Chain A
Amino acid sequence: MAWKKWNFILHRDMGYLCIGLTLLYGISGLVVNHTSHAFNPSYTIETQKSQVSPLAAGKSPDMNYIQQCLQELNVTAQFKNVTMLTPETMRIFAEGYTIDVSIASGETVTERVERRPILFAINYLHLNKGKGAWTWIADIYALAICLLALTGFLMIGGTGRRRALVLTIIGFLCPLLYLLLLQ
Protein backbone atom coordinates (compact mmCIF):
# COMPACT_ATOMS: atom_id res chain seq x y z
CA MET A 1 0.00 0.00 0.00
CA ALA A 2 1.23 3.46 -0.90
CA TRP A 3 0.70 5.00 2.58
CA LYS A 4 2.89 2.33 4.16
CA LYS A 5 5.69 3.20 1.77
CA TRP A 6 5.41 6.92 2.56
CA ASN A 7 5.09 6.17 6.27
CA PHE A 8 8.35 4.19 6.08
CA ILE A 9 10.13 6.93 4.12
CA LEU A 10 8.92 9.59 6.59
CA HIS A 11 9.97 7.48 9.58
CA ARG A 12 13.38 6.73 8.08
CA ASP A 13 14.21 10.31 7.10
CA MET A 14 12.86 11.83 10.31
CA GLY A 15 15.00 9.29 12.12
CA TYR A 16 18.11 10.44 10.30
CA LEU A 17 17.32 14.06 11.04
CA CYS A 18 16.75 13.36 14.70
CA ILE A 19 19.93 11.35 15.37
CA GLY A 20 22.07 14.35 16.32
CA LEU A 21 19.53 16.08 18.51
CA THR A 22 18.37 12.84 20.12
CA LEU A 23 21.93 12.11 21.21
CA LEU A 24 22.30 15.69 22.42
CA TYR A 25 19.07 15.61 24.44
CA GLY A 26 19.71 12.05 25.62
CA ILE A 27 23.21 12.68 26.96
CA SER A 28 22.23 16.01 28.48
CA GLY A 29 19.09 14.45 29.99
CA LEU A 30 21.20 11.81 31.63
CA VAL A 31 23.50 14.29 33.38
CA VAL A 32 20.82 16.90 34.14
CA ASN A 33 18.74 14.16 35.84
CA HIS A 34 21.48 13.86 38.42
CA THR A 35 21.81 17.55 39.27
CA SER A 36 22.36 17.94 42.99
CA HIS A 37 24.20 20.13 45.46
CA ALA A 38 27.21 17.91 44.89
CA PHE A 39 26.98 17.74 41.10
CA ASN A 40 26.47 20.56 38.63
CA PRO A 41 26.07 19.04 35.15
CA SER A 42 27.47 22.12 33.36
CA TYR A 43 30.35 23.19 35.62
CA THR A 44 33.09 21.65 37.68
CA ILE A 45 33.30 23.35 41.05
CA GLU A 46 36.38 22.85 43.21
CA THR A 47 36.71 24.30 46.68
CA GLN A 48 40.00 24.56 48.49
CA LYS A 49 40.96 25.97 51.88
CA SER A 50 44.25 27.78 52.15
CA GLN A 51 46.10 30.51 53.98
CA VAL A 52 47.39 33.98 53.04
CA SER A 53 49.01 36.68 55.10
CA PRO A 54 46.45 38.31 57.37
CA LEU A 55 45.80 42.01 57.07
CA ALA A 56 47.66 44.06 59.65
CA ALA A 57 45.45 45.15 62.53
CA GLY A 58 43.80 48.52 62.00
CA LYS A 59 44.35 48.50 58.25
CA SER A 60 41.57 48.40 55.67
CA PRO A 61 41.86 46.04 52.71
CA ASP A 62 42.99 47.76 49.53
CA MET A 63 44.10 46.76 46.01
CA ASN A 64 47.62 46.00 47.24
CA TYR A 65 46.29 43.51 49.76
CA ILE A 66 43.98 41.97 47.13
CA GLN A 67 46.91 41.55 44.71
CA GLN A 68 48.98 40.07 47.52
CA CYS A 69 46.24 37.53 48.30
CA LEU A 70 45.95 36.54 44.62
CA GLN A 71 49.72 36.16 44.37
CA GLU A 72 49.97 34.04 47.50
CA LEU A 73 47.18 31.82 46.19
CA ASN A 74 48.85 31.60 42.75
CA VAL A 75 45.70 32.92 41.08
CA THR A 76 46.69 34.58 37.83
CA ALA A 77 43.15 34.93 36.46
CA GLN A 78 41.94 38.43 35.68
CA PHE A 79 40.61 40.31 38.70
CA LYS A 80 36.89 41.14 38.38
CA ASN A 81 35.64 42.69 41.58
CA VAL A 82 35.74 42.69 45.36
CA THR A 83 33.25 43.14 48.16
CA MET A 84 33.11 42.82 51.93
CA LEU A 85 30.59 40.14 52.93
CA THR A 86 31.02 40.96 56.62
CA PRO A 87 33.44 43.27 58.44
CA GLU A 88 35.79 40.25 58.69
CA THR A 89 35.33 38.54 55.34
CA MET A 90 36.41 39.89 51.99
CA ARG A 91 35.23 38.20 48.78
CA ILE A 92 37.47 38.54 45.73
CA PHE A 93 36.15 37.73 42.29
CA ALA A 94 38.57 36.77 39.51
CA GLU A 95 37.74 35.02 36.22
CA GLY A 96 36.61 31.55 37.29
CA TYR A 97 37.44 32.15 40.94
CA THR A 98 35.57 33.27 44.04
CA ILE A 99 37.86 33.70 47.02
CA ASP A 100 36.71 34.39 50.56
CA VAL A 101 39.45 35.83 52.73
CA SER A 102 39.16 36.13 56.47
CA ILE A 103 41.23 39.28 56.75
CA ALA A 104 42.10 38.88 60.43
CA SER A 105 43.34 35.28 60.22
CA GLY A 106 44.28 35.04 56.54
CA GLU A 107 42.21 31.87 56.11
CA THR A 108 40.83 31.54 52.61
CA VAL A 109 38.27 29.45 50.79
CA THR A 110 38.85 29.40 47.05
CA GLU A 111 36.14 28.22 44.72
CA ARG A 112 37.16 27.47 41.16
CA VAL A 113 34.45 27.13 38.55
CA GLU A 114 35.05 25.78 35.06
CA ARG A 115 32.69 24.88 32.25
CA ARG A 116 32.54 21.17 31.55
CA PRO A 117 33.74 20.59 27.98
CA ILE A 118 30.91 19.60 25.61
CA LEU A 119 28.43 19.05 28.47
CA PHE A 120 28.17 22.79 29.09
CA ALA A 121 27.18 23.36 25.46
CA ILE A 122 24.70 20.52 25.18
CA ASN A 123 23.09 21.34 28.54
CA TYR A 124 22.86 24.95 27.40
CA LEU A 125 20.85 23.80 24.42
CA HIS A 126 18.86 21.13 26.23
CA LEU A 127 17.79 23.52 28.98
CA ASN A 128 17.11 26.18 26.35
CA LYS A 129 19.06 28.81 28.26
CA GLY A 130 19.48 30.92 25.15
CA LYS A 131 15.74 30.96 24.29
CA GLY A 132 15.07 32.80 20.99
CA ALA A 133 15.79 30.77 17.86
CA TRP A 134 16.64 27.65 19.82
CA THR A 135 13.06 27.53 21.17
CA TRP A 136 11.85 27.09 17.58
CA ILE A 137 14.43 24.44 16.78
CA ALA A 138 13.63 22.55 19.98
CA ASP A 139 9.89 22.78 19.26
CA ILE A 140 10.39 21.43 15.76
CA TYR A 141 12.52 18.63 17.14
CA ALA A 142 9.85 17.78 19.73
CA LEU A 143 7.23 17.56 16.97
CA ALA A 144 9.62 15.47 14.86
CA ILE A 145 10.04 13.02 17.75
CA CYS A 146 6.23 12.75 18.08
CA LEU A 147 6.01 12.11 14.34
CA LEU A 148 8.77 9.52 14.62
CA ALA A 149 6.80 7.72 17.34
CA LEU A 150 3.54 7.83 15.40
CA THR A 151 5.05 6.65 12.12
CA GLY A 152 6.84 3.93 14.08
CA PHE A 153 3.53 2.87 15.64
CA LEU A 154 1.95 2.66 12.19
CA MET A 155 4.74 0.31 11.10
CA ILE A 156 3.65 -2.33 13.60
CA GLY A 157 2.57 -5.43 11.71
CA GLY A 158 3.79 -8.58 10.08
CA THR A 159 5.55 -11.36 11.95
CA GLY A 160 6.83 -9.27 14.84
CA ARG A 161 3.43 -7.73 15.58
CA ARG A 162 2.95 -9.30 19.00
CA ARG A 163 6.44 -8.33 20.18
CA ALA A 164 5.97 -4.78 18.86
CA LEU A 165 2.67 -4.38 20.70
CA VAL A 166 4.09 -5.73 23.96
CA LEU A 167 7.07 -3.39 23.80
CA THR A 168 4.84 -0.44 22.90
CA ILE A 169 2.54 -1.17 25.83
CA ILE A 170 5.53 -1.45 28.18
CA GLY A 171 6.64 1.95 26.93
CA PHE A 172 3.27 3.44 27.85
CA LEU A 173 3.05 1.60 31.16
CA CYS A 174 6.40 2.82 32.50
CA PRO A 175 5.33 6.41 33.17
CA LEU A 176 1.74 5.42 34.04
CA LEU A 177 2.75 2.86 36.64
CA TYR A 178 5.31 5.24 38.10
CA LEU A 179 2.67 7.93 38.51
CA LEU A 180 0.03 5.56 39.88
CA LEU A 181 2.15 3.46 42.22
CA LEU A 182 5.14 5.50 43.32
CA GLN A 183 3.79 9.02 43.64
Chain B
Amino acid sequence: MKKHSLFLLVLFLLSVTTCFAAMQLGEPLTLEEVTKVSEINQHPDQYTGKRVLIEGLIINVCAARGCWMDIASDVPFEKIQVKVVDGEIVFPLEAKGQMARVEGIVEALHLTEDQARSLAEHQAKESGGQVDLTSIKGPSTYYRIRGLGAEID
Protein backbone atom coordinates (compact mmCIF):
# COMPACT_ATOMS: atom_id res chain seq x y z
CA MET B 1 0.00 0.00 0.00
CA LYS B 2 2.85 2.33 0.79
CA LYS B 3 4.12 1.84 -2.75
CA HIS B 4 0.69 2.66 -4.17
CA SER B 5 0.40 5.81 -2.09
CA LEU B 6 3.88 6.93 -3.05
CA PHE B 7 3.17 6.28 -6.72
CA LEU B 8 -0.02 8.34 -6.59
CA LEU B 9 1.72 11.16 -4.76
CA VAL B 10 4.55 11.28 -7.31
CA LEU B 11 2.01 11.18 -10.16
CA PHE B 12 0.03 14.01 -8.57
CA LEU B 13 3.08 16.22 -8.06
CA LEU B 14 4.42 15.53 -11.54
CA SER B 15 1.09 16.39 -13.13
CA VAL B 16 0.73 19.63 -11.22
CA THR B 17 4.26 20.87 -11.84
CA THR B 18 4.50 19.91 -15.51
CA CYS B 19 1.04 21.17 -16.43
CA PHE B 20 1.61 24.64 -14.99
CA ALA B 21 4.45 25.23 -17.47
CA ALA B 22 2.27 24.57 -20.52
CA MET B 23 0.55 27.57 -21.99
CA GLN B 24 -0.83 25.84 -25.05
CA LEU B 25 -4.57 25.74 -24.52
CA GLY B 26 -7.16 23.81 -26.49
CA GLU B 27 -6.50 22.70 -30.06
CA PRO B 28 -3.05 23.28 -31.58
CA LEU B 29 -2.90 26.35 -33.81
CA THR B 30 -3.15 25.49 -37.50
CA LEU B 31 -3.21 28.87 -39.26
CA GLU B 32 -0.03 30.81 -40.00
CA GLU B 33 -1.41 34.08 -41.29
CA VAL B 34 -2.43 36.48 -38.55
CA THR B 35 -5.55 38.56 -39.08
CA LYS B 36 -5.47 41.95 -37.42
CA VAL B 37 -8.10 42.50 -34.76
CA SER B 38 -8.80 45.92 -36.27
CA GLU B 39 -9.49 44.25 -39.63
CA ILE B 40 -12.08 41.96 -38.01
CA ASN B 41 -13.63 44.85 -36.08
CA GLN B 42 -13.82 46.99 -39.23
CA HIS B 43 -15.32 44.31 -41.49
CA PRO B 44 -16.92 41.78 -39.14
CA ASP B 45 -19.41 40.49 -41.71
CA GLN B 46 -16.58 39.46 -44.00
CA TYR B 47 -15.11 37.29 -41.27
CA THR B 48 -18.24 35.90 -39.63
CA GLY B 49 -18.08 32.10 -39.73
CA LYS B 50 -14.44 32.11 -40.78
CA ARG B 51 -11.53 30.63 -38.89
CA VAL B 52 -8.92 33.25 -38.01
CA LEU B 53 -5.68 33.57 -36.09
CA ILE B 54 -5.27 36.75 -34.06
CA GLU B 55 -2.60 37.97 -31.72
CA GLY B 56 -2.42 40.68 -29.14
CA LEU B 57 -2.21 41.69 -25.52
CA ILE B 58 -4.60 40.01 -23.08
CA ILE B 59 -6.29 42.90 -21.31
CA ASN B 60 -8.96 41.04 -19.40
CA VAL B 61 -9.90 37.49 -18.40
CA CYS B 62 -13.17 36.14 -17.02
CA ALA B 63 -12.65 36.26 -13.26
CA ALA B 64 -15.22 33.58 -12.46
CA ARG B 65 -14.43 30.71 -14.82
CA GLY B 66 -11.72 31.82 -17.23
CA CYS B 67 -14.19 31.29 -20.07
CA TRP B 68 -13.35 34.43 -22.05
CA MET B 69 -10.60 36.94 -22.52
CA ASP B 70 -10.33 40.31 -24.21
CA ILE B 71 -7.53 40.82 -26.70
CA ALA B 72 -6.38 44.35 -27.42
CA SER B 73 -6.59 45.47 -31.01
CA ASP B 74 -3.69 46.87 -32.99
CA VAL B 75 -5.78 50.05 -33.05
CA PRO B 76 -5.81 51.97 -29.74
CA PHE B 77 -8.78 51.53 -27.38
CA GLU B 78 -10.25 48.65 -29.39
CA LYS B 79 -10.47 45.00 -28.47
CA ILE B 80 -12.16 41.73 -29.33
CA GLN B 81 -13.47 39.05 -27.03
CA VAL B 82 -12.49 35.41 -27.29
CA LYS B 83 -15.14 33.13 -25.79
CA VAL B 84 -14.65 29.44 -25.16
CA VAL B 85 -16.96 26.69 -24.00
CA ASP B 86 -16.86 26.62 -20.18
CA GLY B 87 -14.33 24.04 -19.05
CA GLU B 88 -13.10 23.16 -22.54
CA ILE B 89 -10.43 25.85 -22.29
CA VAL B 90 -9.81 27.80 -19.09
CA PHE B 91 -7.83 31.02 -19.49
CA PRO B 92 -5.69 31.57 -16.39
CA LEU B 93 -6.22 34.84 -14.55
CA GLU B 94 -2.45 35.38 -14.50
CA ALA B 95 -2.53 35.67 -18.29
CA LYS B 96 -3.59 39.30 -18.09
CA GLY B 97 -0.83 41.46 -19.49
CA GLN B 98 0.68 38.67 -21.57
CA MET B 99 0.66 38.24 -25.33
CA ALA B 100 -1.60 35.61 -26.88
CA ARG B 101 -2.11 33.99 -30.24
CA VAL B 102 -5.64 32.71 -30.58
CA GLU B 103 -7.29 30.69 -33.27
CA GLY B 104 -11.05 30.55 -33.54
CA ILE B 105 -14.16 31.27 -35.53
CA VAL B 106 -15.65 34.74 -35.75
CA GLU B 107 -19.27 34.69 -34.65
CA ALA B 108 -22.03 37.27 -34.64
CA LEU B 109 -24.53 37.49 -31.81
CA HIS B 110 -27.69 39.33 -32.86
CA LEU B 111 -29.01 40.85 -29.67
CA THR B 112 -32.15 42.71 -28.69
CA GLU B 113 -31.68 45.78 -26.50
CA ASP B 114 -32.48 43.74 -23.38
CA GLN B 115 -30.08 40.97 -24.38
CA ALA B 116 -27.33 43.51 -25.10
CA ARG B 117 -27.84 45.08 -21.67
CA SER B 118 -27.86 41.67 -19.98
CA LEU B 119 -24.66 40.69 -21.77
CA ALA B 120 -22.95 43.94 -20.82
CA GLU B 121 -24.03 43.55 -17.19
CA HIS B 122 -22.91 39.92 -17.15
CA GLN B 123 -19.51 40.80 -18.57
CA ALA B 124 -19.08 43.67 -16.15
CA LYS B 125 -19.83 41.33 -13.24
CA GLU B 126 -17.40 38.71 -14.51
CA SER B 127 -14.62 41.20 -15.08
CA GLY B 128 -15.34 43.20 -11.96
CA GLY B 129 -15.79 46.34 -14.05
CA GLN B 130 -18.60 48.81 -14.60
CA VAL B 131 -20.90 49.34 -17.53
CA ASP B 132 -22.86 52.31 -18.82
CA LEU B 133 -26.22 50.75 -19.71
CA THR B 134 -27.62 54.03 -21.04
CA SER B 135 -25.21 53.79 -23.97
CA ILE B 136 -26.95 50.60 -25.16
CA LYS B 137 -29.88 51.52 -27.36
CA GLY B 138 -31.84 49.27 -29.72
CA PRO B 139 -30.87 45.89 -31.12
CA SER B 140 -27.23 45.32 -31.89
CA THR B 141 -24.82 42.74 -33.23
CA TYR B 142 -21.96 41.67 -31.04
CA TYR B 143 -18.97 40.09 -32.72
CA ARG B 144 -16.55 37.85 -30.94
CA ILE B 145 -14.30 34.89 -31.59
CA ARG B 146 -15.25 31.40 -30.54
CA GLY B 147 -11.83 30.26 -29.36
CA LEU B 148 -10.58 26.84 -30.37
CA GLY B 149 -6.94 27.05 -29.35
CA ALA B 150 -4.52 29.55 -27.87
CA GLU B 151 -0.87 30.06 -27.10
CA ILE B 152 0.00 32.41 -24.28
CA ASP B 153 3.56 33.70 -24.01
Contacts and interface: CB of A to CB of B under 8 A. Distances in A.
B97 A93 contact: yes
B65 interface: yes
Q: Say which size band chain B's interface belongs to.
A: 20 to 34
A12 to B, nearest CB: 11
Contacts of A80: 97-98
A98 interface: yes
Nearest to B72: A83
Given A45-B128, A47-B128, A83 B65 contact: no
A113 interface: yes
B93 A93 contact: no
A43 B93 CA distance: 8
Nearest to B126: A37
A130 B22 contact: yes
Contacts of B5: 20
A98 to B, nearest CB: 5
B96 A125 contact: no
Interface string A91-116: 10111101000000000000101000
Contacts of A37: 63-64, 125-126
A75 interface: no
Interface of B: 1, 4-5, 8-9, 11-12, 15-16, 18-20, 22, 57, 59, 63-65, 72, 76-77, 87, 90, 93-94, 96-98, 125-126, 128
Interface of A: 16-17, 20-21, 24, 35-37, 40, 42-43, 45, 47, 80-81, 83-87, 91, 93-96, 98, 111, 113, 121, 124-125, 127, 129-130, 132-134, 137
Instruction: Please list the 8 inter-chain residue pairs (A to B) with the smallest Cβ-Cβ separation, ordered nearest first.
Output: A93-B97, A130-B19, A80-B97, A81-B97, A37-B125, A113-B93, A121-B16, A129-B90
